[in-house]
């Protein structure tokens, strides 16, 4: 749409201007205006948009809400979109859109093309979104897939909402879990070469480790055996990590998830952010030595307890490097906002990260953590365990192979990140034809089919007159199409991606209903055919745009 403002935003502006004018004219007491809310009424009889502003003002002024409503309506400036403004008890102001304006939007959508739905909420401010960031000690499982799809989709939506977005994967290549990975790999390597070696107690027992060892032997031979132990497991481990990361990257690409930056934890030591941050915190008085270790005094910032940053053996904790990492994000790379998507097991990490960020003098509001809740795998009634260490895992890749990319993405996006989900592999496979994803994509395929027929009959719709679109199913479809920018705004400001999946279904529903009731390509009425061809071409843009935001394909045939 050429106008970047959504209708909703425009109404918000009109209302607050009107209320201010009413105050200036003495028709309303000069109280501070509450935040003006405009919403879609549940009941269509109440119009397209409604505001409860008068009801909110009634509390502050003590006046009758209906009188307030009338006073405000009197000052609402005329606008090309609006047909009627009605005051309704107990004190709502209801707006109905002009049908001529509605149909006119079809041309606007066609003119906007692929950029329809884009808004300017972000004003090109810089947002970094970090997600997945799994330890490269094993293959990805479904839970990681959920975070990956969520992060990737949010990045798409934030970009559409006018932010400059960078997607980042943080590689934990320096901690003790990576150390355990290296020792485990070395053991498997020795064992594969016939040497009696024992797995470390904290090791990774999954079958992929033995396979990784074999792969390395096939490529590099037994040369690591001649090295002394720490060097051998170090070099071998580094090789193994690289392979593991490549595999993770490949699995994510399979899901359509890519990153702009792969950031390594180890670089925080090489480039000095770690020591810089520690001295900053020390200067701020947030560091204390006790029990032979170094602590971040989060209790000074209202936290329940302090946290160790440097262990008694002198090695920094994960928390310490994460502090340095966020210093790098905010101070060195100067992102306006930083979003981290974490698994449910990181929930306890949120408040101390917020605390430490404010200790570094950064407004914690600029840092947003999203917790994506657990995904349990199921085969029918049986739970499938997904412990990386035990080795009994179903990988993300296996799930994608079984269910398909589009269904997988839609499934992850169709529920709020806050709620846990059961992923039933049998159900996903057995009912794949009934999955809402096919319902939505089928709508797109039907539109493509209509456009194919029009092309076969060599119909040129470019001079179609959209003012002929006056029937109810047509207007219902257009109204729904106009919501895409609002959905983009909602997802971008709440960081809740599931609204997109629901919108996609609603859009498909109104299209299918239109399709049933309104024949598009008709031999009887050439003018109406052309007008409707424009409408479905616009609907195709909106539907495919929505699917693409979700990282899904919009098939022309099914």
Alpha helices in 328-435 (DSSP H): 349-359, 396-403, 405-413, 425-430
Is 132 among the residues that bind RNA (CB under 7 A)? Answer: no
List 288, 436, 471, 475, residue binding RNA (CB under 7 A): 436
Q: Interface residues for RNA in 368-387 (CB under 7 A)?
A: 371, 373-374
Is 10 among the residues that bind RNA (CB under 7 A)? Answer: no
Q: Interface residues for RNA in 70-129 (CB under 7 A)?
A: 88, 90-92, 94
Is 421 among the residues that bind RNA (CB under 7 A)? Answer: yes
Q: Interface residues for RNA in 216-255 (CB under 7 A)?
A: none
List 382, 392, 434, 472, residue binding RNA (CB under 7 A): 434
List 279, 312, 467, 527, residue binding RNA (CB under 7 A): 312
Token pair of 174 as six digits = 């320096």
Nearer to RNA, 135 or 546 (CB): 135
Binding-residue pattern over the window 261 to 290 for RNA, x denoting contact by CB under 7 A: ----x-------------------------
Nearer to RNA, 205 or 319 (CB): 319
Nearer to RNA, 105 or 372 (CB): 372
Q: Is the dihedral of CA 480, 481, 486, 492 positive or negative?
A: positive
Nearer to RNA, 9 or 235 (CB): 9
- Smallest gap from residue 180 Cβ to RNA (A): 8
Nearest to 104 by CA among 536, 507, 467, 348: 467
By DSSP bridging, strand 92-97 and strand 49-51 are antiparallel
- Smallest gap from residue 271 Cβ to RNA (A): 18
Q: At residue 6, what are phi and psi to the nearest 5 degrees?
A: -80, 160
List 209, 216, 448, 466, residue binding RNA (CB under 7 A): 448
Q: Is the dihedral of CA 510, 516, 521, 526 positive or negative?
A: negative
Which residues are paired to 128 by β-bridges?
166, 338
How crowded is residue 316: how many other Cβ atoms within 10 Å of its Cβ? 22
Size of interface with RNA, in residues (CB under 7 A) = 93
Binding segment toward RNA, per CB under 7 A, in 97-105, 250-258, 270-278, 347-355: 347-355
Distance, CA of 259 to CA of 248 (rounded, Å)? 12
- Smallest gap from residue 371 Cβ to RNA (A): 6
Using CB atoms within 10 A of its CB, is residue 194 exposed (0-12), middle (13-18) or buried (19+)?
exposed
Distance, CA of 312 to CA of 463 (rounded, Å)? 78
Is 32 among the residues that bind RNA (CB under 7 A)? Answer: no
Is 307 among the residues that bind RNA (CB under 7 A)? Answer: yes
Nearest to 341 by CA among 190, 69, 57, 149: 149
Is 438 among the residues that bind RNA (CB under 7 A)? Answer: yes
List 109, 521, 542, 549, residue binding RNA (CB under 7 A): 521
Token pair of 85 as six digits = 């403004």
List 33, 308, 384, 405, residue binding RNA (CB under 7 A): 308
Distance, CA of 558 to CA of 545 (rounded, Å)? 18
Is 40 among the residues that bind RNA (CB under 7 A)? Answer: yes
Is 430 among the residues that bind RNA (CB under 7 A)? Answer: no
Is 142 among the residues that bind RNA (CB under 7 A)? Answer: no
Nearest to 478 by CA among 546, 535, 421: 535
Is 318 among the residues that bind RNA (CB under 7 A)? Answer: yes
- Smallest gap from residue 364 Cβ to RNA (A): 15
The C-alpha angle with vertex 341 and arms to 338 and 344, in degrees rounded to 5, equals 140
Q: At what angle do helices 99-112 and 472-481 cross, to 10 degrees?
A: 50
């Amino acid at each position: 749409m050429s106008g970047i403002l959504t209708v909703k935003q425009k109404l918000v502006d009109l209302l607050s201007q009107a209320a201010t004018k009413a105050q200036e004219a003495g028709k309303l007491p000069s109280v501070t205006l509450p935040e003006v809310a405009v919403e879609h009424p549940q009941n269509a009889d109440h119009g397209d948009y409604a505001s409860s502003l008068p009801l909110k003002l009634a509390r502050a002024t003590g006046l009758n809400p209906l009188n307030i409503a009338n006073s405000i309506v009197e000052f609402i400036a005329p606008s090309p979109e609006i047909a009627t403004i009605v005051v309704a008890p107990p004190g709502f102001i209801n707006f109905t859109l002009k049908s001529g304006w509605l149909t006119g939007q079809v041309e606007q959508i066609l003119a906007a093309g692929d950029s329809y739905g884009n808004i300017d909420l972000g004003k090109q401010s810089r947002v970094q979104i970090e997600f997945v960031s799994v330890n490269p000690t094993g293959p990805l499982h479904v839970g990681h897939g959920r975070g990956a799809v969520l992060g990737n989709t949010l990045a798409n939506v934030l970009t559409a909402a006018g932010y400059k977005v960078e997607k980042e994967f943080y590689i934990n290549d320096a901690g003790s879990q990576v150390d355990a990975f290296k020792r485990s790999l070395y053991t498997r390597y020795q064992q594969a070469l016939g040497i009696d070696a024992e797995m470390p107690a904290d090791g990774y027992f999954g079958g992929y480790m033995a396979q990784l060892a074999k792969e390395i032997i096939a490529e590099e031979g037994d040369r690591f055996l001649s090295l002394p132990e720490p060097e051998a497991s170090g070099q071998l481990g580094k090789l193994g990590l690289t392979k593991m990361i490549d595999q993770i990257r490949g699995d994510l690409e399979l899901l359509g998830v890519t990153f702009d930056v792969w950031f390594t934890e180890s670089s925080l030591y090489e480039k000095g952010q770690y020591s810089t941050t520690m001295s900053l915190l020390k200067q701020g008085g947030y560091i204390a030595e006790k029990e032979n270790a170094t602590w971040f005094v989060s209790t000074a910032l209202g936290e329940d307890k302090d946290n160790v940053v440097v262990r008694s053996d002198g090695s920094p904790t994960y928390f310490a490097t994460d502090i340095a990492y966020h210093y790098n994000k905010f101070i060195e790379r100067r992102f306006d906002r930083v979003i981290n998507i974490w698994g449910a097991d990181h929930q306890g990490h949120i408040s101390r990260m917020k605390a430490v960020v404010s200790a570094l003098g950064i407004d914690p509001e600029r840092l947003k953590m999203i917790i994506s809740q657990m995904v349990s795998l199921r085969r029918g009634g049986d739970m499938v365990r997904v412990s990386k260490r035990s080795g009994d895992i179903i990988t993300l890749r296996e799930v994608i192979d079984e269910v398909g990319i589009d269904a997988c993405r839609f499934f992850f996006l169709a529920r709020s990140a806050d709620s846990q989900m059961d992923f039933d592999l049998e159900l996903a496979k057995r009912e794949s034809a009934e999955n809402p994803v096919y319902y939505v994509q089928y709508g797109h395929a039907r539109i493509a089919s209509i456009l194919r027929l029009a092309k076969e009959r060599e119909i040129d719709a470019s001079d179609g007159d959209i003012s002929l679109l006056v029937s109810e199913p047509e207007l219902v479809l257009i109204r729904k199409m106009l919501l895409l920018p609002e959905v983009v705004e909602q997802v971008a400001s709440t960081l809740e991606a599931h609204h997109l999946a629901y919108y996609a279904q609603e859009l498909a529903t109104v299209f299918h209903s239109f399709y049933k009731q309104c024949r598009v390509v008709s031999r009887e009425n050439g003018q109406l055919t052309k007008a409707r061809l424009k409408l479905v071409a616009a609907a195709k843009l909106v539907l495919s745009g929505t699917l693409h935001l979700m990282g899904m394909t919009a098939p022309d045939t099914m």
